[in-house]
Amino acid sequence: MQREQLADFLRRRREAIRPAEVGIAAGPRRRTAGLRREEVAMLAGMSVDYVVRLEQGRSSQPSVQLLGALARALRLTDDERSHLFHLAGHQPPPAEGIASLARAGLVRLLDLVGDTPAMVLSDLGEILAQNRMSILLSGDHTGLTGDRRYVAYRYFTEPAIRDLHGPEEWQRHARQQVADLRAVAGRRAGDPAVTGLIERLQAASDDFRRLWAEHEVAVRRADRKTFRHPRVGRITMDCETLVTPDLGQQLLVLTPADAEARERLELLRVLGVEEFPASVPH
């Protein structure tokens, strides 16, 4: 672990980020153009004291999970992320691990779309990052672990998601989930992360096993989805998916499908996060 180099790198990256890039108002009394340590700590989900010790070269070796959180908070590029791991004495994650970290450019787009709900997903359906409106609409899904981090797995194994939709809508979305996963399996043939997920889904769900046997293939680009929100009721959203050139990650942007949905989304924005549940199935 190269403590002094790590400390210098983290400090300089923090100072290079403008608050507006991460959705923080600059304010009239800010003395520096970069982020404060407490802001990095908030974005990365760690203590301010640990951020201070990292920047002073006094910390213990950070874990891979902590480095991933710092990379997201500091909006690091792929090259910068790899450099961060090397300085901390870790090998950069392999392809599957890197895919589980939202790309810096996509995270910046989350900030730019403002009050439009948006999220970054891996090609396997892990929600890697969400903006504020996405969390208000569907809850924060970035901290899920195990198979629950995959949207398809939750879709086929959690009754709350099935209950959210009528039978016809659930069947349509279920078929889309399977066809999209089939396309991923074709691109990543032999990848144990993909084959393992498919095997566990087949063991867990008769519906998945039946749809998988039909061998439908389709990459999701556009869709319409209804959210049943506990505070503002049903909101119908149009979903547009933009993918990276290697198809490894997706930016999902959700816009109101009609005037009623637009009004309810605006009400949700005004209400904010007070008494908002941790997760809403979608």
The stretch 104-111 carries a mean pLDDT of 82
Residue 276 pLDDT level (bands cut at 50, 70, 90): very low
pLDDT at 183 over 50: yes
Q: Rounded CA gap, 51 and 40, in Å?
A: 8
Residue 275, phi then psi, degrees to nearest 5: 55, 25
- pLDDT value, residue 263: 94
Q: Which residue from 206, 204, 184, 205 is spatially nearest to 195, judged by alpha carbons?
A: 184
DSSP class per residue in 54-88: HHTT-PPPPPHHHHHHHHHHTT--HHHHHHHHHHT
Q: Rounded CA gap, 276 and 273, in Å?
A: 5
- SS3 assignment for 105-169: HHHHHHHHCCCCCEEEEECCCEEEEECHHHHHHHECCCCCCHHHHEHHHHHHHCHHHHHHCCHHH
- pLDDT value, residue 275: 43
Q: What is the pLDDT of residues 24-48, one digit of tens each?
A: 766 667 676 788 888 888 888 888 8
133 and 151 Cβ atoms separated by less than 8 Å: no
Mean per-residue pLDDT over the chain, rounded? 83
Q: Rounded CA gap, 180 and 135, in Å?
A: 24
Residue 166 pLDDT level (bands cut at 50, 70, 90): low
Q: 170: which 2 tokens?
A: 């659930």
- pLDDT value, residue 19: 77
- pLDDT value, residue 164: 67
pLDDT at 153 over 90: yes
Q: What percent of the chain has pLDDT over 90?
A: 23
Q: Rounded CA gap, 22 and 130, in Å?
A: 12
Q: Which residue from 265, 188, 254 is spatially nearest to 229, judged by alpha carbons?
A: 265
Q: Which stretch of 34-48, 162-176, 229-243 has the lowest confidence by average pLDDT?
A: 162-176
3-state class (DSSP) for residue 274:
coil
Residue 171 pLDDT level (bands cut at 50, 70, 90): confident
Strand order in the sheet with 222-229: 127-130, 118-122, 249-256, 233-243, 222-229
Q: Which residue from 184, 210, 172 is spatially nearest to 162, judged by alpha carbons?
A: 172
Residue 94 pLDDT level (bands cut at 50, 70, 90): low
pLDDT at 14 over 80: yes
Q: Rounded CA gap, 187 and 165, in Å?
A: 30
Q: Rounded CA gap, 82 and 216, in Å?
A: 37
pTM reported for the whole predicted model: 0.66
Residue 223, phi then psi, degrees to nearest 5: -160, 170
The stretch 147-171 carries a mean pLDDT of 82
Residue 253 pLDDT level (bands cut at 50, 70, 90): very high
- pLDDT value, residue 260: 94
14 and 34 Cβ atoms separated by less than 8 Å: yes
Q: Which stretch of 83-92, 186-195, 204-213, 241-250 has the lowest confidence by average pLDDT?
A: 241-250
3-state class (DSSP) for residue 253:
strand
Residue 282 pLDDT level (bands cut at 50, 70, 90): very low
3-state class (DSSP) for residue 26:
coil
- pLDDT value, residue 67: 87
